[in-house]
Amino acid sequence: MTNLRQRLRDGDVVFGQMVLELFTSGIGPMLAAAGMEFVIYDMEHGRCDIGLLAEMVASCRGSRIVPMARVPDMHFAPLSRVLDIGVRGVMVPRVETRAQAEDIVAQLKYPPAGRRGVALGVAHDLYQAGTPEFFEQANAETIVILLLETAKAFENLDEIISVPGVDIAWMGHYDLTVSMGIPAQFEHPRFLEAMDALVAACRRHGVAPGFLPATPESAAHWIRQGFRALSLGSDIGVFLNGVRKFRKSVTAAAKL
């Protein structure tokens, strides 16, 4: 697997996809074959539990895809549990304060950077306890993603994003618009101001802004605006759009 965290620090744009429904052992390798660099398995909204996640992560071995997980909430204790089964990045929803961000980083990093508990010779190190250098390497490769999706989070934006160890600040666009009283109004000036504010704060603190655009046009636009970690839709959206487009093309060609 590539060191995705280093690529983010180097300023690269990286692509992946959020998986909410198609929890099959082939999905990670298929996304890799399609040129994706990461996959985020959703434990918050989908049916993915810790056992299913372990199967999904194991299926990614041997491919270049970087497996990550969105945990249900910041009280999913310990947050590092998903790291122990081999996840390389953790997305935590509903982060609203600096104290929460600091606690998240601490749970996901080994000492001295944090307080992650030690379990060696298990899935995350392929059942081969490594050398003392393992801990530094694990800290260097673990990606911390904070999902910012409330008006309160954006009031505390700089304080949150400036926490050492944060790698991606992800825009939770639906939840944010609901929190702001403008549900699903993604062209509303207040939402667009929040998108700009996120990019600006990330630039100030060397953090990658993340987003899930619904269309190629939206993805291209937000890349130009500065977003660097993008889920190209979700598994559900891409599958449905692909089937609809295929069917429409067939019926048009067949003049049905």
Please tell me the predicted confidence (pLDDT) of residue 54.
97
Domain borders along the chain are: 4-253
Extract the tokens encoding 13.
């744009």
Please tell me the predicted confidence (pLDDT) of residue 106.
98
Q: Which residues of 128-141 are buried (b: 16+ CB within 10 A; e: fewer)?
A: eeeeeebbeebbeb
Q: How far apart are CA 16 and CA 31, in angstroms?
A: 8
Q: How far apart are CA 62 and CA 112, in angstroms?
A: 31
- Region of 235 on the Ramachandran plot (φ > 0 left; ψ -120 to 50 alpha; else beta): alpha
Q: Does domain 4-253 have CATH number 3.30.70.1140?
A: no
Q: In degrees to the nearest 10, what's the CA dihedral of 101, 160, 20, 127?
A: -40
Do 144 and 101 contact (CB within 8 A), yes or no?
no
The closest alpha carbon to 6, from 171, 137, 160, belongs to: 137
Q: How far apart are CA 209 and CA 203, in angstroms?
A: 9
Q: How far apart are CA 168 and CA 157, in angstroms?
A: 13
Which helix (H) or strand (E) segment is 5 a member of? helix 4-9
pLDDT tens by residue, the chain, 256 residues: 458 999 999 999 999 999 999 999 999 999 999 999 999 999 999 799 999 999 999 999 999 999 999 999 999 999 999 999 999 999 999 999 999 999 999 999 999 999 999 999 999 998 988 788 999 999 999 999 999 999 999 999 999 999 999 999 999 999 999 999 999 999 999 999 999 999 999 999 999 999 999 999 999 999 999 999 999 999 999 999 999 999 999 999 999 8
Q: How far apart are CA 227 and CA 170, in angstroms?
A: 9
